[in-house]
């Protein structure tokens, strides 16, 4: 069965490729497939051990640890919802429960460092139903929904508070481990740039101002740097194409490189230079390397794997070796990165499913 691309997070949080695989686990059981964690690990994946499949069915993506390592927050399209909503579960896959409103489309959730609040973006104030999918008559594009705003809530989803309230797309928010700043993506200035703000939405600062898409940002563990994905255009025709699509609320994600910068937006440096679709970067616990998702080894651009790279762009190492999608990597924060969570199409019971996996990380 041929691999195909599908977008789980239409707010440009992901590109997912799908392929049918046999085998599954029971959601919430945290059991190894076939009783042996190694059966979920593909040959060549030397950094993984004791892998568990935490979800079983639906489209599950962007799974991130709480700062104490006890829970995972993620977005999922599953019955009875027609598009992504936010859920929380324990790290063993148990106690999966909805924490968003169940209305509109949500994306890009994250825990606050103190564990007393959660963060996510939602379109629910723009309407109860899922927003329309992007117009693919213009090719493979992602949609930037203007109804997306960023919200803070209690861990059970109550006491929802809006942190952004500006016309345009506001999403892709994550929080510094220092517990002082939120970084997010916005189209409020007519381009797609990164901004920071305090945890209550105050002290807004624009961090990037180069024409092109800047998004999907994460802080380093020490809070001094930010890693993100971006598109840049040396060709005026390509820049115009980007700007014309942006005017329609669309973006074509075929070429994205990984960049780092200081937390205040200074000192931008390009990390990858492969001309492919690179996204979902996250710092290693020592802040000396980055793990990210890329289709760099697939000439057709359909298969996405995880890679590790030094901050200066050297030492690129392939981490996963499946022929489907592996992405959204994150190391646990509370124990120096002993645990690793990611989302994958591997061993799906049905075509089009993406599930959450957790394992031990081995250097």
Q: Is the pLDDT of residue 113 over 60?
A: yes
Q: Is the pLDDT of residue 23 over 50?
A: no
Q: How far apart are CA 206 and CA 196, in angstroms?
A: 7
Q: Is the pLDDT of residue 341 over 70?
A: yes
Confidence label for 31 from pLDDT (cuts 50, 70 and 90): very low
Is residue 319 within 8 A of residue 306, CB to CB? The reply is: yes
Q: Could you tell me the CATH number of the domain that includes residue 271?
A: 2.120.10.30
Its domain, for residue 227, covers 4-361
- For position 37, what pLDDT does the model report? 53
SS3 114: coil
Confidence label for 349 from pLDDT (cuts 50, 70 and 90): confident
DSSP state of 192: B
- For position 18, what pLDDT does the model report? 30
Confidence label for 247 from pLDDT (cuts 50, 70 and 90): very high
The fraction of the chain above a pLDDT of 90, given in percent, is 82
SS3 241: helix
Query: Taking Cα atoms as reference points, which of 295, 291, 292 lies closest to residue 304?
Result: 295
Is residue 339 within 8 A of residue 361, CB to CB? The reply is: yes
SS3 279: strand
Confidence label for 34 from pLDDT (cuts 50, 70 and 90): very low
- For position 350, what pLDDT does the model report? 87
SS3 226: strand
Beta carbons within 8 Å of 244's beta carbon, 6+ residues apart: none
- For position 352, what pLDDT does the model report? 82
The larger pLDDT score, comparing residue 136 to residue 298, is at 298
CA angle 225, 8, 290 (to 5 degrees): 25
- The mean per-residue pLDDT over the stretch 106-119 comes to 97
Quickly list DSSP for 280-338. Answer: EEEE-TTSSEEEEEE-TT-TTS--BEEEEEETTS---EE----SSBEEEEEE-TTTTS-
pTM of the model: 0.90
SS3 134: coil
- The mean per-residue pLDDT over the stretch 222-250 comes to 96
The larger pLDDT score, comparing residue 140 to residue 126, is at 126
- The mean per-residue pLDDT over the stretch 136-146 comes to 88
The fraction of the chain above a pLDDT of 70, given in percent, is 90
The larger pLDDT score, comparing residue 272 to residue 140, is at 272
Give how many domains the chain has, as a whole number: 1
Element (H, E) at 243: helix 236-247
Q: Which residues pair with 283 in a beta bridge?
A: 290
Is residue 304 within 8 A of residue 326, CB to CB? The reply is: yes
Confidence label for 301 from pLDDT (cuts 50, 70 and 90): confident
Is residue 279 within 8 A of residue 255, CB to CB? The reply is: no
Q: How far apart are CA 65 and CA 26, in angstroms?
A: 21
Average pLDDT, the chain: 90
Q: Is the pLDDT of residue 14 over 60?
A: no
Confidence label for 362 from pLDDT (cuts 50, 70 and 90): very high
Is residue 73 within 8 A of residue 64, CB to CB? The reply is: yes
């Amino acid at each position: 069965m041929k691999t195909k691309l599908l977008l789980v997070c239409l707010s440009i949080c992901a590109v997912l490729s799908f392929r049918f695989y046999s085998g599954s686990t029971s959601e919430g059981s945290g059991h190894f497939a076939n009783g042996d964690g190694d059966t979920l690990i593909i040959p060549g994946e030397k950094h993984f051990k004791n892998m568990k499949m935490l979800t079983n069915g639906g489209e599950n993506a962007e799974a991130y640890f709480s700062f104490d390592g006890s829970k995972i927050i993620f977005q999922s399209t599953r019955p009875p919802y027609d598009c992504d909503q936010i859920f929380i579960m324990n790290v063993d896959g148990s106690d999966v429960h909805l924490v968003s409103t169940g209305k509109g489309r949500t994306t890009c959730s994250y825990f606050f460092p103190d564990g007393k609040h959660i963060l996510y973006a939602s379109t629910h104030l723009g309407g109860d139903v899922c927003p329309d999918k992007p117009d693919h008559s213009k090719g493979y594009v992602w949609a930037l929904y203007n109804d997306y705003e960023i919200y803070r809530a209690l861990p059970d989803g109550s006491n929802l508070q809006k942190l952004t309230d500006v016309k345009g797309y506001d999403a892709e928010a994550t929080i510094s481990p220092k517990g002082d700043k939120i970084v997010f993506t916005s189209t409020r200035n007519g381009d797609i740039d990164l901004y920071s703000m305090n945890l209550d939405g105050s002290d807004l600062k624009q961090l990037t101002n180069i024409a092109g898409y800047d998004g999907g940002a994460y802080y380093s563990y020490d809070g001094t740097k930010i890693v993100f994905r971006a598109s840049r255009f040396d060709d005026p025709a390509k820049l115009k194409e980007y700007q014309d699509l942006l005017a329609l609320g669309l973006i074509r994600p075929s070429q994205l490189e990984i960049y780092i910068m200081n937390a205040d937006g200074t000192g931008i440096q390009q990390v990858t230079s492969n001309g492919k679709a690179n996204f979902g970067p996250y710092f290693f616990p020592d802040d000396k390397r980055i793990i990210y998702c890329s289709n760099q080894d697939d000439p057709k651009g359909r298969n996405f794997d995880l890679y590790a790279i030094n901050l200066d762009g050297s030492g690129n190492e392939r981490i996963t070796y499946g022929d489907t999608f592996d992405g959204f990597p994150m190391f646990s924060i509370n124990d120096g990165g002993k645990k690793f969570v990611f989302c994958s199409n591997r061993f799906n019971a049905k075509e089009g499913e993406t599930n959450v996996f957790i394992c031990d990380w081995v250097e």
